[in-house]
């Protein structure tokens, strides 16, 4: 399962942003914006006592106005209910219970989502004077905190972690390829999924389990077994919400984490957008095999150059995913959709490929002869040997004399040599550099 998603919900001014900042700023290591992606921070990925989770940045979801806008507040709660695994329902312990709190509470109660009732602004050791009033909500015992002072935040996080879904991931067998269809809303993900599942050779298996993972769709294609990992929003349409894009991105992230192969669907009429770059970035950073699918190709007016121009654009915009094959399809007409599964299979195999150390070192040795490693102030980079440390993604450990000499461009050169010889199409390749004195 992907890392759990936590959302902070509450009426305006209860201290949601303050709590978010407290959790993200102080106690927890933040994985900041992903390189090469964008600055728009939608969520942070953090951990508490080695439990990793996503915390949604409700700041951007909030209405900016300080007026109480019940409709927007409700929408925020609805989105959190749909997206989050655990909800922190934040209330103001100094003001006591309000009508808006009751309204949100009733939505949360109906949803049955795991939640924590949290009274903020309890700045001293004494309980909120309204402490017992909050039991009326029927949402359990309140946890009292002060976000501003940083009081009791550790306890809150302990209780939050206890509500995380148990690791009940259906353990698919090793040979089952997990595929996540990712992309912005409306690019045709559902249509594509339906097309794939509708193919003659595809047999959709019974869906096992009743957990939230039951939205996975296992199927076989010939002798090969796959499972489609759903991103919420594919089945449960909720296009009416302004912020659905932000949430669909977050869901994409958790789907990506669980996947072996990501199918990034891009709308041919729109070209590559910022949102696409962001989503591609997740796949890349997570080390997943990636296939780029340009959908709605039927709508594009074409001449002989159109496809090549499009490929160039994609390569340009998504330069860090240069290894991903690109397919031009139409989920509507079925054009080339039959290529998808074979491509998925190919890249899944490549991402799991393991090279023998002997062969690998032959290639590295040749590469070094062909193009001498860089030196700095008379000291030359020495490469002792290389071994593949892991798969998914293919990860190579390079034993060298001095990391400072291992310039990025030289590592890129070695990566390319490995690709020339072994392919690894659709896979990111990683290098880990290890220093070693000669003769160690
Ligand atoms: N005394 C006290 N004040 C707090 C605490 N947490 C937040 N505040 C104050 O409450 C006000 C609202 O805090 P925000 O974090 O902006 O609240 P919010 O819920 O994100 O507000 P909206 O963006 O309007 O929804 C600010 O003036 C904070 O300084 C706290 O623990 N104690
Ligand atoms: N012309 C054309 N239309 C398509 C194609 N694929 C999907 N569409 C249309 O695009 C719209 C969106 O398709 P969906 O499959 O619902 O897109 P989605 O990505 O699942 O959307 P969300 O559920 O919002 O994430 C629908 O009206 C489809 O009929 C295609 O290949 N060609």
Tell me the per-residue pLDDT of 22-46, one tens digit each, with 9 for 90 and over.
887 643 333 333 333 333 345 677 8
Number of structural domains (the chain) is 3
pTM: 0.68
* Residues 195 and 334 both lie in one domain: yes
Which 3 state secondary structure label does DSSP give 50?
coil
Task: Say if 80 falls within a structural domain.
Answer: yes
Alpha helix stretches (DSSP H) within 259-356: 274-285, 306-317, 338-351
Which atom of ligand 2 has the smallest separation from the CA of 244? 24
In this predicted structure, what is the pLDDT of residue 233?
40
In this predicted structure, what is the pLDDT of residue 32?
36
In this predicted structure, what is the pLDDT of residue 95?
93
* Residues 396 and 318 both lie in one domain: no
| Interface ipTM above 0.85 | no
* Residues 309 and 194 both lie in one domain: yes
* Residues 310 and 380 both lie in one domain: no
Is 15 annotated to bind a ligand? Reply is yes
Residue 403 sits in a domain of what CATH number?
3.30.300.20
Give the whole-angstrom CA distance, residue 21 versus residue 37. Answer: 22
Choose the final residue of a domain: 317, 335, 351: 351
Which atom of ligand 1 has the smallest separation from the CA of 145? 31
* Ligand in nearest proximity to the CA of 300: 2
* Residues 36 and 158 both lie in one domain: yes
Q: 193: Cβ below 6 Å to ligand 2? A: no
Choose the final residue of a domain: 319, 351, 383: 351
Residue 31 sits in a domain of what CATH number?
3.40.50.300
Q: 332: Cβ below 6 Å to ligand 2? A: yes
Strand duo 217-221 + 224-229: pairing? antiparallel
Q: Which residue has the higher pLDDT, 306 or 174?
A: 306
- The answer on pLDDT for 349 being more than 90 is yes
Is 338 annotated to bind a ligand? Reply is no
Which 3 state secondary structure label does DSSP give 224?
strand
Q: 182: Cβ below 6 Å to ligand 2? A: no
Q: Ligand 1: which of 8, 9, 12, 15 to mutate, judged by most atoms within 8 Å of the beta carbon?
A: 15
> Which of 22-36, 347-361, 423-437 has the lowest average pLDDT?
22-36
Mean pLDDT confidence for 353-380 = 92
Task: Say if 275 falls within a structural domain.
Answer: yes
In this predicted structure, what is the pLDDT of residue 58?
56
Give the whole-angstrom CA distance, residue 108 versus residue 115. Answer: 8
* Residues 9 and 155 both lie in one domain: yes
Choose the final residue of a domain: 162, 189, 207: 162
- Of all protein residues, the one whose alpha carbon is nearest to atom 21 of ligand 1 is 13
* Residues 313 and 332 both lie in one domain: yes
Residue 300: domain span: 177-351
DSSP letters for 140-199: -PPEE-BTTTTBSHHHHHHHHHHTSPPS------TTPEEEEEE-STTSSHHHHHHHHHTS
* Residues 290 and 384 both lie in one domain: no
Mean pLDDT confidence for 329-358 = 95
* Residues 199 and 155 both lie in one domain: no
* Residues 84 and 190 both lie in one domain: no
* Ligand in nearest proximity to the CA of 183: 2
* Residues 283 and 384 both lie in one domain: no
Tell me the per-residue pLDDT of 61-100, one tens digit each, with 9 for 90 and over.
344 444 445 676 777 777 777 788 899 999 999 999 998 8
Give the whole-angstrom CA distance, residue 340 versus residue 329. Answer: 9
Q: 224: Cβ below 6 Å to ligand 2? A: no
Q: Which residue has the higher pLDDT, 261 or 228?
A: 261
Q: Which residue has the higher pLDDT, 103 or 213?
A: 103
In this predicted structure, what is the pLDDT of residue 364?
95
In this predicted structure, what is the pLDDT of residue 238?
39
Q: Which residue has the higher pLDDT, 200 or 416?
A: 416
- The answer on pLDDT for 232 being more than 70 is no
Q: 251: Cβ below 6 Å to ligand 2? A: no
- Which stretch of DSSP H or E encloses residue 294? strand 289-295
In this predicted structure, what is the pLDDT of residue 213?
40
């Amino acid at each position: 399962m992907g890392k759990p998603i936590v959302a902070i919900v509450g009426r305006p001014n209860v201290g949601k942003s303050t709590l978010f900042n407290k959790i993200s700023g102080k106690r927890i290591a933040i994985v900041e914006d992903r390189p090469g992606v964008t600055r728009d921070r939608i969520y942070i990925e953090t951990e508490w006592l080695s439990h990793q989770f996503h915390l949604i940045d409700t700041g951007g979801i909030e209405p900016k106005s300080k007026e109480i806008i019940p409709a927007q507040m409700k929408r925020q709660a609805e989105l959190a209910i749909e997206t989050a695994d655990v909800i922190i329902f934040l209330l103001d312990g100094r003001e006591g219970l309000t009508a808006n709190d009751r309204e949100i509470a009733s939505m949360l109660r109906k949803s049955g989502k795991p939640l924590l009732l949290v009274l903020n602004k309890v700045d001293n050791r004494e309980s909120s004077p309204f402490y017992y009033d909050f039991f009326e909500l029927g949402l359990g015992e309140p946890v009292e905190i002060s976000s501003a002072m940083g009081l009791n935040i550790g306890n809150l996080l302990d209780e939050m972690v206890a509500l995380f879904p148990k690791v009940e991931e259906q353990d698919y067998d090793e040979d089952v390829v997990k595929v996540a269809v990712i992309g912005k809303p409306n690019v045709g993900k559902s249509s594509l999924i339906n097309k794939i599942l509708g193919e003659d050779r595809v047999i959709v298996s019974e869906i096992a389990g009743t957990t939230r993972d039951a939205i996975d769709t296992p199927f076989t294609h010939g002798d090969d077994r796959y499972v489609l990992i759903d991103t919420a929003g594919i089945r449960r349409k909720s296009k009416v919400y302004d912020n659905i894009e932000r949430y669909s991105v977050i869901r994409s992230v958790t789907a990506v984490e669980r996947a072996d192969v990501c199918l990034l669907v891009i709308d041919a009429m729109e070209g590559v957008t910022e949102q696409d770059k962001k989503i591609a970035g997740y796949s890349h950073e997570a080390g997943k095999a990636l296939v780029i699918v340009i959908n709605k190709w039927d709508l594009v007016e074409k001449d002989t150059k159109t496809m090549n121009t499009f490929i160039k654009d994609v390569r340009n915009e998504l330069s860090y995913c240069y290894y991903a094959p690109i397919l031009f399809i139409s989920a509507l007409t079925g054009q080339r959709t039959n290529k998808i599964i074979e491509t998925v299979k190919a890249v899944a195999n490549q991402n799991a490929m393991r090279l023998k150390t002997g062969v690998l070192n032959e290639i590295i040795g040749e590469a070094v002869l062909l193009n001498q490693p860089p030196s700095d102030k008379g000291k030359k980079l020495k490469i002792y040997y290389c071994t593949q440390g892991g798969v998914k993604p293919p990860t190579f450990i390079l034993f060298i004399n001095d990391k400072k000499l291992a310039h990025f461009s030289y590592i890129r050169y070695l990566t390319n040599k490995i690709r020339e010889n072994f392919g690894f199409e659709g896979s990111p390749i990683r290098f880990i550099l290890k220093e070693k004195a000669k003769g160690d």
